[in-house]
Amino acid sequence: MKIMVTGGAGYIGSHTVLELLKAGHEVVVMDNLSNSSEESLNRVAELAGKKAEFHKVDLLDAPGMKELFEQTRPEAVIHFAGLKAVGESAEKPLWYYKTNVAGTLNLLDAMEAVDCKTIVFSSSATVYGEPEEMPLTEKINMDAQSCYGRTKEHIEDMLVDLAASDSSWNIALLRYFNPVGAHESGRIGEDPSGIPNNLVPFIAQVAVGRREYLNVFGNDYPTVDGTGVRDYIHVVDLADGHLKALDFVAKNGGLRTWNLGTGNGYSVLEVLHAFEKACGKELPYKIVDRRPGDVAVSYADPSSALADLGWSAQRDIDTMVADHWNWQKNNPNGYEG
Ligand code: NAD
Ligand code: WQD
């Protein structure tokens, strides 16, 4: 199949492009490179033995998006492009709504104009907000607690309305839990700009000597050791979930929503200790105040993805952090170095 991957130069996008190429698909990447580097795609080509076609286009450039779709005529889209920092979204809400929501509208218009009606969308477990019940099933109502999360809710709502209006659309909404790790080669991985917001990239920078210690945000949660518990998922398992979801909706039609998580929760200190084992050294940390907006525990019920797609995460927490460390130690300054 000819597949357009928006945001394909980014972290999850680049890993997915690699799996698509390996599976024999023809891949076109569009990305404005605002949070990524084309070097990720050079390395994907090296690993796959073939290249994805690349176009530097901005989601907000509506005529440019139309032209791109008319020129490339993909049969399906995997839509990763967008902004993802929770804190930044509170400071720049209009920028987040514009990029994520208006950008997705431009994409859908461009798709419709060439009769491309199959899309897999990167949603997030963050749409669940702070529900009491665990694990999180797809049936729980969306109640995002951040501007970033609400942009994901708006896009999901838009896609639900679109599917209801026209049954020829095939749509997968994928709610990811906490993506970590890297391709086993250590050639591609997560390369955050500035200070990492997320736990594992931060720990990796402590391990490689770019940061002095980890701040652990709170140790008084009702969890195994008082620190926050999350469902970490290996990025290659996540990429594989996209191929299976695309295949399913392309064959069966309609709109479907799936959680992509492992179903297991690990605390901050458990992740830190797993990383220490992977890198073979002790990593300093300090307990600081809770981070506003954080929930105590979040983990998936991934049984729908297993039942419908035959998908389940294959890589455990030790593999996740070992692969993340392999990427970080080989690329201490990310793609720049
Ligand atoms: P990323 O920042 O590495 O990738 C996003 C890509 O989109 C980047 O390459 C960036 O340059 C591109 N982009 C941003 N704005 C653009 C625009 N206006 N036009 C064109 N391209 C643009 O992020 P990621 O971690 O790979 O996340 C991919 C998707 O998955 C995002 O939609 C994100 O919200 C979602 N998601 C991520 C996580 C996570 O923790 N990483 C969790 C759940 C959902
Ligand atoms: C994990 C745990 C922190 C950093 C975020 C987004 C979510 C999704 C994934 C996109 C928590 C603790 C963290 C640090 C710490 N992204 N922590 N010290 O908050 O579950 O989810 O990324 O959709 O929308 O909100 O992930 O990696 O930031 O935090 O102690 O320096 O690690 O408190 O318990 P989170 P995270």
pLDDT in tens, 216-272: 999 999 999 999 999 999 999 999 999 999 999 999 999 999 999 999 999 999 999
Q: Ligand 2, from 199, 211, 212, 298: best to mutate by most atoms within 8 Å of Cβ? A: 199
Averaged pLDDT for residues 190-217: 97
Strands 178-180 and 232-234, by their bridges, are parallel
Instruction: Please state which CATH number belongs to domain 2-180+234-261+302-308.
Output: 3.40.50.720
Indicate the DSSP class of residue 136: B
Distance CA 159, CA 108 (A): 9
Indicate the DSSP class of residue 125: G
Ligand with the closest atom to the CA of 238 = 1
Q: Is 291 close to ligand 2, i.e. is its CB under 6 Å away?
A: yes
Q: Is 175 close to ligand 2, i.e. is its CB under 6 Å away?
A: no
Burial of 61 (0-12, 13-18, 19+ CB in 10 A): middle
Spatial neighbors of 206 by CB under 8 A, at least 6 apart, are 212, 213, 214, 283, 284
Provide the whole-model pTM: 0.99
Q: Is 151 close to ligand 2, i.e. is its CB under 6 Å away?
A: no
Question: pLDDT tens across 40-59, in order?
Answer: 999 999 999 999 999 999 99
Which atom number of ligand 1 is nearest to the Cα of residue 13?
26
Indicate the DSSP class of residue 141: P
Averaged pLDDT for residues 14-31: 98
Q: Is 80 close to ligand 1, i.e. is its CB under 6 Å away?
A: yes
Query: How far is the centre of ligand 2, averaged over its atoms, from the C-alpha of 143 (Å)?
Result: 18
- Maximum distance among all Cα pairs of the chain, rounded to whole angstroms: 56
Averaged pLDDT for residues 281-292: 97
Which residues face 254 on adjacent strands? Answer: 170
Catalytic site residue 128? Answer: no
Q: Ligand 1, from 29, 31, 155, 197: best to mutate by most atoms within 8 Å of Cβ? A: 31
Distance CA 48, CA 52 (A): 10
Q: Ligand 2, from 150, 217, 235: best to mutate by most atoms within 8 Å of Cβ? A: 217
Which residues face 119 on adjacent strands? Answer: 77, 171
* Triad 117, 123, 125: Cα angle to 5°: 150
Would residue 213 be called left, alpha or beta, if left means φ above 0 and alpha means ψ between -120 and 50 degrees? beta
Q: Which of 11, 96, 148, 176 is catalytic?
A: 148
Query: 185 and 47 in contact (C-beta within 8 Å)?
Result: yes
